[in-house]
Chain A
Amino acid sequence: MNELTIAMPKGRIFEEAYKLFEEAGFDLPKEINDSRKLIVEAPEERIQFILAKPMDVPVFVEHGVADIGIAGKDVLLEQLRDVHELLDLRISNCYIATAGLPNTKMNEIAPRVATKYPTIATNFYKEKGEQVEIIELNGSIELAPMIGLADRIVDIVSSGRTLKENGLVEYEKIVDISSRLIVNPVSYRVKRERIREFVAQLKNELNKR
């Protein structure tokens, strides 16, 4: 009864989030880390974890199949889903920026921008008053300027090493990114007390950091 379903992103964010949960005093099963299971129960906490691709976490939460989720701000900005953003977990910090080959200008006739984040890129250039053509790629975005597919890329930068190793430089910073705790709007009301407890416990740990 009164269970919470939490959608967790697989991969890098997961490990940091897991650590945060543990330090906040949640009693989580050990096997969650290294199993191929997609649904893991934490009976002591009456919590059920769903393991999903980071991009899919807001989908689960918006549709209400998960009450709570952990999602990067980049995904939230890109997908504009109807979820409540309750806490900045301050993990997986990075930022989104534009980058390209050094000392280059955008093509005047048809400036092209390659990105995994078409919405964020479109909005950024729109606000700057520039119309650009967006080319959507799924990975290795850095390739695009190197092989002449695009003048600029819009991508996540954490240490800047990937850019450097591929001979690219950062041009403009767009927005800071970190992981957020998101909640389904109905769960936020219907499971109010339970979610409030959960958030308070996490907040407590975050304030200590």
Chain B
Amino acid sequence: MSKIQMFEKPLGMRDSFPEVNEQKEYIRSTARNFIRSKGYDFIKTPSVEYFETIGKASAIDESSLFKLVDNQGEMLVLRPDMTTPIARIAASKLLKEKNPLRLAYYANVFRSQRREGGRPAEFEQLGLELIGDFSAYGDSEIIHTAVELVKVLGVKSFRITIGHAGVLTAILTNNTNTKEQVDSLRQLLVEKNFVGFEQKLEEIKLSENQIENLIKWIDYSIDSKSLENFKQFLTVDQEYLLEQVDQLQRLLEIQLNDPSIVSFDFTLASHMSYYTGMIFEIHAEGSGSPIGNGGRYDELFNQFNETVGATGFGIRVDRLLEVLPKTVSVEKNTLLLFHEGFYTKANELAVEKRNNKERVTLQYIESVNDLDAYQRSFDEVLIVSEGGSLRE
């Protein structure tokens, strides 16, 4: 291992320079106003939690957790997601005060990177959770809000893909013999490894009928066949799952101005194991990975000894930044340089300009080494000296 140099940061950690920071600030405030108008309240949670609780309940793989030990020897984690801490607060306190509960967050989360760079280990996430509602109205509200939010933030071209964890589990279970088979097939779908999926079917020696069913189901899903076509893969007492999807579909058609951005795909699977109902991903041109995802995760609350419906989504701010056009700052930056003995005068001028909503930097001229270079970072430069201010 080479010695760590003074300029180095841990793998995956990133600085936000002023320009990017401003853009994030814009995203945060725009999103905040919009989300609050929908009746969601913002909350904050600690950056550090116990491994035993949040670390284990979170769907993020243990190998991605940043772990540390406190002075009592307890294992701690840097929060890897926000959904789990919010479930903790909701279950232990807030649900008793308000139910259903609408909460939102804008926070940084931590996931360690073991491979090469290119992926951040700390990033901001923006999301909301609707807790205490089992209905399709809740799901529809979440998807609709995600669509509107992404639009409000200025994303031009994007698509939503909706699946259903319950339907997926049902179809896989109906056509396999063991839980291990279901899990291995689901994992291949998470990776969208259709080649591996078909090979696996042969490998685990399913019956011809089972294989035929599963392949047909994949083809139907890829061709986005209508819901009717999927009935054959489900038993009578599983059909209620399709009815849920049907209701959601109808609600979205009413709510969305342009329902064509939404497509249903029952092969959509998530590595987040706590999803039980509808799940969705938001893909936008410009980012190689989904900018956001969400779903119904009633199961998570079992770990906090509560039975409530919960649904929500999160947007990755880092990926959003890749998608959004670079905003050109319209702000005017003024530099006020003053010579010895003109500090008071310069100060008065600065206050006057700041009161007019101008952005003013006040600088003693003798302290600047390279005056020409320094002046280039400003839109307007004024030098305060004898006889008033001079424009440059």
Chain B interface size, as a band, is: 20 to 34
Contact A85–B289 (Cβ < 8 Å): no
Given contacts A62-B288, A63-B288, contact A186 B283 (CB under 8 A): yes
Identify which of A11-19, A148-156, A188-196 touches chain B.
Answer: A188-196
Binds A, one of B4-12, B190-198, B333-341, B358-366: B190-198
Instruction: Say yes or no: B161 contacts A87, CB within 8 Å.
Output: no
Contact of A63 with B118 in the complex, beta carbons under 8 Å: yes
Report if B290 contacts A (CB, 8 A): yes
Q: How far is the CA of A84 from the CA of B189 in the complex (A)?
A: 9
Residue in B222, B263, B288 whose CB lies within 8 Å of A185? B288
Residues of B within 8 A of A64 (CB): 287-289
CB of A180 within 8 Å of the partner chain = yes
Which residues of A are found within 8 Å of B289, using beta-carbon distances? 64, 82, 185-186
Q: Does B310 contact A (CB under 8 A)?
A: no
Chain B's closest residue to A186 (CB) is: B283
A170 at the interface (CB under 8 A from B): no
Using A185-B283, A186-B283 as known contacts, say yes or no to A84 and B288 having CB atoms under 8 A apart. Answer: no
B159 contacts A by Cβ under 8 Å: yes
User: A96-133, CB under 8 A of B: which get 1 and which 0?
Assistant: 00000000000000000000000000000000000000
Are B193 and A186 touching (Cβ within 8 A)? no
Cα–Cα distance between A63 and B285 once the two chains are bound (Å) = 12
With an 8 A cutoff between CB atoms, is A5 at the interface? Answer: no
CB of B281 within 8 Å of the partner chain: yes
Instruction: State how many angstroms separate the Cβ of A68 from the closest Cβ of chain B.
Output: 13
Q: Is the CB of A185 within 8 A of B195?
A: no
Partner of A186 from the list B118, B194, B196, B285 (CB cut-off 8 Å) is: B285
Please, how many angstroms separate the alpha-carbon atoms of A64 and B192 in the complex? 16
CA distance A87 to B284 in the complex (A): 24
The A50-71 residues at the B interface (CB cut-off 8 A) are 62-65
Check if A190 sits within 8 Å of B284, measured CB to CB.
yes
Q: Is B229 an interface residue (CB 8 A)?
A: no
B45 interface residue per 8 A CB criterion:
no
Interface residues of B in 216-271 (CB under 8 A from A): 222, 263
In the complex with contacts A63-B118, A192-B263, A186-B192 CB distance below 8 A = no
In angstroms, how far is the closest chain B Cβ from the Cβ of A111? Answer: 24
Interface residues of A in 164-201 (CB under 8 A from B): 180, 183-186, 188-190, 192, 196
Cβ–Cβ contact B222 & A188, under 8 A: no
Cα–Cα distance between A62 and B287 once the two chains are bound (Å): 10
A85 close to B287 (CB less than 8 A): no
| Bound Cα distance from A62 to B118, whole angstroms | 11
Q: Roughly how many angstroms separate A4 CA and B191 CA in the complex, as a whole number?
A: 22
Distance A180 CA – B192 CA, assembled complex (angstroms)? 13
Which has the most chain A C-beta neighbours within 10 Å: B196, B288, B290?
B288
- The answer, among B161, B191, B281, for a CB contact under 8 Å with A84, is B191
The answer for the CA separation of A121 and B281 in the assembled complex, in Å, is 34
Q: Which of these, B195, B199, B283, contacts A190 with CB under 8 Å?
A: B283
| Complex contact B288–A184 (CB within 8 A) | yes
A84-B192, A85-B192 in contact; A186/B263 too (CB < 8 A)? no
Q: Does B273 contact A (CB under 8 A)?
A: no
The winner among A62, A65, A189, A196 for most chain B CB atoms within 10 A is: A189
The residues of A with any CB-CB pair to B shorter than 8 Å are: 62-65, 82, 84-88, 180, 183-186, 188-190, 192, 196
- 6 new A-B pairs (CB below 8 Å) besides A62-B288, A85-B194, A185-B283? A82-B289, A88-B199, A180-B195, A186-B285, A190-B158, A190-B284
Q: Nearest 6 pairs between A and B by C-beta?
A: A64-B288, A84-B192, A189-B283, A85-B193, A88-B195, A186-B283
Cross-chain pairs A/B with CB under 8 angstroms, 25 sampled: A62-B288, A63-B118, A64-B287, A65-B288, A82-B289, A84-B193, A85-B191, A85-B192, A85-B193, A85-B194, A85-B195, A86-B192, A86-B194, A86-B195, A87-B195, A88-B199, A185-B283, A185-B289, A186-B284, A186-B285, A186-B290, A188-B192, A189-B263, A190-B285, A192-B159
The residues of B with any CB-CB pair to A shorter than 8 Å are: 118, 157-159, 161, 191-196, 199, 222, 263, 281, 283-285, 287-290
